[in-house]
Structure 1
Amino acid sequence: MVEMSSAQGGSQGRSPTGRVLMAVARRWPTWLGLAFMVFNVLGLEDGRDAALVVFLAALIYLATAVTGRPGVVWPLFGASVVAVTVLRLLGLEPWPGLVGGAVCVAVVGLAGGLSRRPTLDAAQVPAMLVFGTVSVAALTLSPAVGGYLVAAALIGHAALDVVLWRRNKVVARSMAEFCAALDLPLGVAIVVLTVSA
């Protein structure tokens, strides 16, 4: 009984400001996702520019499913951001390497039995196929049509994020929260920007 009251006193002993700050701190993935969304919106010429976000999300999720270790998603995310940044600084197009990488990861996953693993893990292969195809196809379309296609893919990926967050599967829950907070508002922002263009 003493332990229970001291545990309760820990959160009740905080000031209202302290409780608010703790609640905000617990949602760090949401705030980080929203910050990335703002960063992406500020750099958009048209919605097709966000195709890379959808492709990378699908690739990182697939690679994480292949490893079977949800926590590896954050190092993969960091590595992908660094790799794309370096390629762009060198004036190189990241798409050929990303598409080739996605094919290799999918082949390794299928050869390693990913299709026989739990449904949400196995679903990352068709998810990569759908989101990857949409991302690449959007680049070949007009700014309006391509933008709407990327927006739809972002919103669709946000729905996947919610499923993975609720079930706590495939990727770390913090990544699913981060990605949902990035994908959904970015998809909506692209729709708004495309309509008003």
Structure 2
Amino acid sequence: MTDTPHARIAPAESPAESPAVPTHRSSPGRVVAALASRWPTWCGLAATALNLADARDGRALGFVVYLAALIYLATAVIDRPGMVWVLFGLSVVAVTLLKVFDVDPWPLLIASAVTVVVLGLTAGLLRQGGLTAAQLPAMLVFGAAAVFALSLSPEAGGALVAAALIGHAVQDVAVWRAGKVVARSMAEFCAVLDFTLGAAILALILLPLGG
């Protein structure tokens, strides 16, 4: 029996003839969103630029690592990682006001550190172990380095501050990876600030402008 026109089956389309499926490419909006998600990094770089523009030598930047260690410790004591940005804001405002009125901020910073260390010991922070407990010795080590650097020459003191900043950046990365102690956004911001500021101080010591 011969096939009728209605009985004929149309040949299937070959893969080459099938409609092309549009491929999705990264739109400008996605690029902007990706960049925006890294806002702590951009803020850290901006903070580095501001601190370098305002510093006489590396020793003067010791307050950055001192303040970072103090804020981390205070956040660990109250055990509320999200509060770190509030503590950071209050600390920056306090230090800025002291500088505006030409008041040495170091006595207040040292008194605050002693108070927070005592509170941490009383609250049993060392018994918690891990990165949380590590904030007590970190405060002592980084704080002592920042204060001791003030008594050294600009080169030696700056190098000590740079080493402390880079050392704290290592802790920032550990905190960021663990997602503990402070908010990850603060850990990212602090890691970028600490590392770039420490590296810049070392560069200025080794390659002085005009030298």
TM-score of the superposed pair, with normalisation by structure 2: 0.86
Q: Deviations over 1:142-182 (max 9, x none)?
A: 00000000000000000000000000010000000000110
| Separation of aligned partners in 2, 1:169 and 1:61 | 11
Structure 2 unmatched ranges of 5 or more: 1-22
Residue 194 of structure 1 corresponds to: 205
Q: Tell me which protein shows more helix as a share of its residues.
A: 1
Give the CA deviation at 1:15. Answer: 5.4
Residue 182 of structure 1 corresponds to: 193
Q: Deviations over 1:88-145 (max 9, x none)?
A: 1111100001001101100011101111113211100000000000000001100000
| Separation of aligned partners in 1, 2:109 and 2:68 | 11
| Separation of aligned partners in 1, 2:38 and 2:47 | 15
Instruction: Identify the match of residue 73 of structure 2 among 62, 66, 73.
Output: 62
Q: Does the CA-based 8 Å contact 1:61-1:170 persist in structure 2? A: yes
| Separation of aligned partners in 2, 1:101 and 1:118 | 23
| Separation of aligned partners in 2, 1:195 and 1:118 | 39
Q: Superposed, which structure 2 residues align to 1:1-197 within 5 Å?
A: 16-197=27-208
Residue 8 of structure 2 corresponds to: none
Q: Does the CA-based 8 Å contact 1:139-1:146 persist in structure 2? A: yes
Q: CA RMSD in A?
A: 1.3
Residue 9 of structure 2 corresponds to: none
Residue 9 of structure 1 corresponds to: none
| Separation of aligned partners in 1, 2:57 and 2:101 | 23
Give the CA deviation at 1:86. Answer: 0.7
Give the CA deviation at 1:14. Answer: 8.3
What is the count of residue pairs matched by the alignment? 186
Q: Deviations over 1:10-63 (max 9, x none)?
A: xx9785211110100110000001100111111221111110101000000000
Q: Secondary structure at the match of 1:123?
A: helix
Q: Deviations over 1:62-107 (max 9, x none)?
A: 0000001100100000000000011111111000010011011000
| Separation of aligned partners in 2, 1:179 and 1:51 | 14
Q: Secondary structure at the match of 1:171?
A: coil
Equivalent position amino acid for 1:85 in 2? T
Structure 1: 4+ residue segments shifted above 3 A: 12-15
TM-score of the superposed pair, with normalisation by structure 1: 0.92
| Separation of aligned partners in 2, 1:13 and 1:76 | 43
| Separation of aligned partners in 2, 1:41 and 1:95 | 19
| Separation of aligned partners in 1, 2:74 and 2:81 | 10
Please say which structure displays the higher CA radius of gyration: 2
- Larger relative contact order (C-alpha < 8 A, sep ≥ 6)? 1
